[in-house]
Amino acid sequence: MLKKVKQIIVVTSILLSGCTVITPNKSQYLIDPVVKTSKAEKSSCKDKSIKIAQAFSATALMSRKMKYTYDEQQEFTYSESAWSRAPSRAITAVLLESVRASGLFKNVNNYKSRSRSNLILETNIEEFVQHYEDNNTKSFVKAIISFSLVDAKTSTTIDNKTIEVQLNTETLNAQGGAKALNDALAEILQKNNEWLGSLCR
């Protein structure tokens, strides 16, 4: 009886292994924009510290899923492509690097830091997505990010800035969308540093 049970288990294992579905690996794309930043020689903020708050965003940007829209009405997800890191976290990280590279402030702190800062930079990612239109014959990306510079001591807003960039993609796929979104983000980060620089004159 025991021998028969063992035979049944072996046969069942073989049959099940033949039905195993192998899921292909997804292509992963980095959010790693190349920002052209010149270090500020003069800045009235050089004696101040700033904390980069965790970016606010829609739930879709808190996951690694790569979304796209058709005619800006229907939203879909790429099945074989994904971000290597959730956009909300990745954008917060590259924003920190960009502001630090600008040399405008004495210290640029991560939102997890317990050290006190004079200023807080709040970020709201309003849009960061690839769009298709004209029966999938055209694709572009749109990135819209709002920034608020806040006085940490009084919790009052010093100034606000919304930056929007739209770029056509080189290819009609996830790879083209990822590249264009990185280019759009690089432009936004550069303009953000220029805005912060204007406030530190």
What pTM, to 2 d.p., does this model score? 0.85
Q: Residue 106: what pLDDT?
A: 95
Number of domains comprising the chain: 1
> Measuring CA to CA, which residue among 53, 95, 96, 97 is closest to residue 188?
95
Name the stretches of the chain with pLDDT < 50.
1-23
- CATH at residue 51: 3.40.50.10610
Q: Is 65 exposed, middle or buried (0-12, 13-18, 19+ CB in 10 A)?
A: middle
Q: What is the pLDDT of residues 23-60, one digit of tens each?
A: 456 899 999 999 987 777 788 999 999 999 999 999 99
What's the pLDDT score for residue 6?
44
Residue 24's pLDDT is 54
| H helix or E strand, kind and range, residue 91 | helix 87-102
- Report pLDDT digits (tens) over 149-165: 999 999 999 999 999 99
Instruction: Give strand pairing partners of 142.
Output: 129, 166
| Domain that residue 10 falls in | 2-199
